[in-house]
Structure 1
Amino acid sequence: MFTDKHILIIDDSEAILMVVKTMLSRMGFERLTTMTSAQKALQLVSRAPDDIYMVLTDLRMPGFDGLDVLRRLGEIKFAGAVAIISEMDKRIINLAADIAKNHQLHLIGCISKPIQQDDLAALVQKAGEMLSQKWDESSLLSEETILQALENNWVVPYFQPKVNFTTMRVESVEALARIVLPGEVNAVRPCRFLPTVMKAGLIDSLTGRILDVAAKEFSTIKGMLGDDVKLGLNLSPDELENLSLAGIIEAVWQQHGHRNSELILELTEEEAIQNNRQLECLNRLRLKDFGLSLDDFGTGFTNINQLRNLPYTEVKIDRSLIINIHRDSFCQAIVTSLADIASQLNITLVAEGIEHISELNFLVQKYPNLVLQGYLISMPRPTATLAAWYRSWQRQFGATSDSMPQD
């Protein structure tokens, strides 16, 4: 399955190049290019940047070093995954990571030398998670089908809980758009309709439909999970161009008797907030007491320190930073920095995409105030099955964390 993915490895050590190439070959990768010259490697990337799936680069190299590589990749707007191979001091690596983010690169982590197969495999998995937005167009729903789904109310919200394992409370549920086609058992996930929705300019209609149905069902959800639970709703940065957005959302939400503070609006980090209209809309949502969440942190271009200047009440750490976190010092450094800032600014920090017990146990023990979300806890589900899930979750974990699952 990796035969079409081209990986470029840059290191001044022939031995390191051979080790990495051998390990990647064992994983099934066939298109592997190794280079000791960073300048020649960048010439290759410049000629065909879309052909390179991932770049692995050392930091300390004679002449043209890894920092030069990161800067040049940023200048050519390289869209693939980038990883650092280095045995340098963690502070140097962390600063290099900040530089990569400032260059708007998709940095997936850093592995130290001597390189371990498991660490390299985790990077490959992270690259897949981060770059998974490049959907297969043959599987996308057509614009006609999506319009039909909106007209016939086939677009529905599924809800995924966010839980705190210290308090054992469900802090909020995220409303996620699904399309339920007649005669099909499984709901259609966003990867099959969201690109078409964005291309056809239907995102306002999709959000409006999900907001309306979720608002109607929220009272039932509170009856199941408690009066303090909140609801998360995804917004596209494009929707922030509408200066009337806050008023529109408020009218729908309050029509069903809910307080503004009970709604968290989640904005993906993948697209940067770019202009004053978006910033004004963002600020007006907070003026109206809606919560604001920065979704998918780690996939986009927000520097950790920029969080101090934007009125977010929640930050969601992307799955790509959670994979293998119990043995990934780079990801641990990012999450620790986020946890410190979240504590200072009274921001709720959420780790999303929890799929393995080892990740869950590490996060609960290391970051007790973290809110957790993922398939290991609950998949997105319709309101009708939330109560059964909650009863099962309460039975499994009880009122304390003593019943945490074991590896």
Structure 2
Amino acid sequence: MSPSVLIVDDSKSVSSVLKQYLIELGLDNISVCDDPLLALSQIKNDLTAFDAVFIDLHMPGLDGLEMMHQLDNLNYRGGVIIISGLDQKIIDLAENIIKTTQLKLLGTATKPFSLSVLAFLVKRIRYIRNKAYPKADFIKRRELVDSLKNKYIVPYYQPKINCRFDTMLGVECLARIDVTGRGRISPDNFIPVAEKFGLYDEFFELLLHQALKDYVNFSLTHNTKSPLSINILPNQLNSDKLLYQIDNAIEKSLFPIEMLMLEITEHQALHTQAQLKNLNRLRINGIKLSLDDYGAGFTNLGQIKNLPLNEVKLDAKMVNGIALDPLLEVICRSTQEVTSALGLQFIAEGVESEKDLAVLEKLGVDGFQGYGICRPKPIDEFERWFQVWNRESESSRYRN
């Protein structure tokens, strides 16, 4: 089913042009409203009626910024896209204001419209719609509590590889949990439950301790200094607790702090003073930072330079099928140019096909991660994979 979209603009001609573009891009469930008050009433009657709303900033009676403020008060959780032909400084300010709310700002469509920009926004609309209607079989709170109590947390590991030089740039820790009677459960089925019931901190602490212990042994055995990455949520940066958890785990495991990288998911905005302060504190203490799922959330290329990052990871949705999609190639190339200029490592996630890999290598991507390289594995299986890969890599380097 196609995502449902509402266009709110007092200019019927602008709405007509935008609607036609969206139809060309594969959307067929599009509503148009030239009255922001009427649009608010429609959304209030059914908060799930529209997966995304395009909103013009400059409208008589109720401007777009105020409409978005009221959408936030209604707890609207679809995507929001700004429409505007105003000065870029005004648009930037509006974006920054919206990012202080709980709204999902997907981007801005400036007038006159660019088909390539709209295509990118449509991909984001489809992405958040899939996230809003997951097929995951969520575990129950009681099951998660029992798994945490019994420490049934199982770290899985997946490498980031530079194929040109046959080197391992890093390893990401991805969690699984064991649930009695259900077997091993993937993150999509328990992370939302952990967040909802305030159990994420406990889960993260257990995962962190086990992962650092595993990786200390792995790095010593195989003489590697490739960083270990662990995912954190932006809201963990709102307090000092994260720093204390990391200090405690590093002290107990004797893990080299310079080998730790934290991957920050991009599905929530980074905007509070506390978040930015704690990001800087992490970097000051020698911990590396990676922006995960870039292209699927809130951060744009212009904002990357203001975050104390070491790495940017392009979301799998922007990678899968890149060999057949010129727009994805443009997005990847522009991201590579910016990250290269800023001295950041650029990783493509979700690499599954050799054709996509060839295009990504041509575009100058630093490293690759995905099922086409290596599936996530528990530590014993990952070590066996690494031994085979390392022998083959050494042989390849020797031949060259």
TM-score range, shorter chain: 0.7 to 0.9
Change (3 A) 1:45 1:324: farther
Match for residue 245 of structure 2? 248
Distance 1:202 1:158 in 2: 20
The one-letter code sitting in structure 2 at the alignment partner of 1:385 is E
Which amino acid in the other structure matches residue 291 of structure 2? L
Equivalences, count: 370
Structure 2 CA distance for partners of 1:214 and 1:228, relative to 1, 3 Å: same
- 1:208 aligned residue (199, 205, 224): 205
Question: Partners of 1:170 and 1:80 in 2: how far apart?
Answer: 39
The 1:176–1:33 alpha-carbon spacing in structure 2 relative to 1, beyond 3 Å, is same
Q: Quote the residue 2:106 is aligned against.
A: 106
Aligned equivalent of 1:315, options 312, 316, 319: 312
- Give the Å deviation of 1:273: 2.4
Distance 1:101 1:389, change over 3 A: farther
Cα distance in 1, alignment partners of residues 346 and 209 from structure 2: 27
Aligned partners of 2:170 and 2:228 also within 8 Å: yes
In the alignment, the residues of structure 1 paired with residue 213 and residue 19 of structure 2 have an alpha-carbon distance, to the nearest angstrom, of 62
- What is the CA deviation profile of residues 245-279 of structure 1, one whole-angstrom value per residue up to 9, with x for unaligned ones? 32431231232222111000111122222322222
Contact 2:333–2:363 (8 Å) recurs in 1: no
What SS is found at the alignment partner of 1:201? coil
1:35-84 Cα shifts (integer Å, max 9, x gaps): 6xx73799658722631235799x9xxx99xxx99997798567546899
The structure 1 residue matched to 2:375, chosen from 379, 382, 401, is: 379
1:336 aligns with 2:306: no
Task: After TM superposition, give the deviation of residue 173 of structure 1 in Å.
Answer: 1.1
Aligned to 2:347: 350
Which residue is 2:16 aligned to? Answer: 12
Letter in structure 2 aligned against 1:372 = F
Question: Which amino acid letter does the alignment assign opposite residue 286 of structure 1?
Answer: R
Partner Cα distance (2:392, 2:233) in 1: 36
On the 8 A contact 1:163/1:169 being kept in 2, the answer is: yes
Identity among equivalent positions (%) equals 28
Conserved? CA contact 1:351–1:372, under 8 Å: yes
Three-state SS of the structure 1 residue aligned to 2:359 is helix
The match for 1:28 is none
Quick check: 254-263 or 222-231, which moved more? Answer: 222-231
Residue 147 of structure 1 aligns to a residue whose secondary structure is helix
Q: CA separation in 2, counterparts of 1:234 and 1:80?
A: 25
Q: TM-score, normalised by structure 2?
A: 0.75
Kindly indicate whether the alpha-carbon contact (under 8 Å) linking 2:212 and 2:249 is maintained by their aligned counterparts in 1: yes
Distance 1:8 1:327, change over 3 A: farther
1:363-378 maps to which residues of 2 (within 5 A)? 363-368=360-365, 370-378=366-374
* Preserved contact between residue 36 and residue 67 of structure 2 (Cα < 8 Å): no
Larger deviation: 284-293 or 241-250?
241-250
* 2-structure distance, mates of 1:136, 1:18: 24
Q: Counterpart of 1:277?
A: 274
Structure 2, unaligned stretches of length 5 or more?
8-13, 83-87, 100-104
Report the residue type matching 1:387 in the other structure: E
Residue in structure 2 matched with residue 91 of structure 1 by the alignment: none
Structure 1 pair 191–113 and aligned structure 2 pair: CA distance change class (3 A): closer
| 5+ long unaligned stretches in structure 1 | 26-31, 85-93
The amino acid across from 1:39 in the alignment is D
Give the secondary structure class of the aligned counterpart of 1:157.
strand
Aligned-CA RMSD value: 4.3
User: Structure 1 213/308 Cα, relative in aligned 2: closer, same or farther at 3 Å?
Assistant: same
Residues of 2 paired with 1:196 and 1:143: CA distance?
7
Of the structure 1 ranges 11-20 and 328-337, higher mean CA displacement relative to structure 2 is found in 11-20
Partner of 2:169: helix, strand, or coil? strand
Q: Contact 1:81 / 1:107 at 8 angstroms: preserved in 2?
A: no
SS of aligned partner of 1:300 = coil
Classify the secondary structure of the residue corresponding to 2:16: coil
Does the residue aligned with 1:315 lie in a helix, a strand or coil? Answer: strand
**Equivalence for 2:34:** 39
Deviations 1:110-136 (A, max 9, x none): 99879xxxx98x987765444443355
1:394: how far off?
A: 5.3
Q: Take 1:399 and 1:313, find their aligned partners in 2: how far apart are those partners? A: 29
Q: Secondary structure at the match of 1:387?
A: helix
For residues 200-244 of structure 1, give each alpha carbon's deviation from its aligned partner in whole angstroms, at most 9, with x where no partner exists.
111111110001100110023325654221100111222223325
Render the CA deviation track for 1:368-399: whole Å, top value 9, x for unaligned. 4x211112212211001113323454577763
Secondary structure of 2:158's match?
A: strand
Tell me: CA distance 1:384–1:135, structure 2 relative to 1, closer, same or farther (3 Å). Answer: farther
CA contact (8 A) 1:159 1:383 kept: yes
Per the alignment, residue 164 of structure 1 pairs with: 162
Alignment of 1:251-266 (within 5 A): 251-266=248-263
Confirm or deny: 8 A CA contact 1:109 1:330 kept in the other structure.
Answer: no
2:180 pairs with 1:176:
no
Give the 3-state SS of the residue equivalent to 1:309 in structure 2. Answer: coil
Q: Label 1:367 to 1:39 Cα distance change in 2 as closer, same or farther (>3 A).
A: farther
Instruction: Indicate the larger mover: 99-108 or 317-326.
Output: 99-108
* Cα 1:56–1:323 shift into 2, 3 Å: farther
Question: CA distance change for structure 1 residues 13 and 274 in 2, over 3 Å: closer, same or farther?
Answer: closer
- Compared CA separation, residues 18 and 283, structure 1 to 2 (3 A): closer
1:219-230 matched pairs, under 5 angstroms: 219-223=216-220, 226-230=223-227
Q: 1:388 aligns with which of 367, 380, 384?
A: 384
Pair 70,338 (structure 1): closer, same or farther in 2 beyond 3 Å: farther
One-letter identity of the residue aligned with 1:12 = S
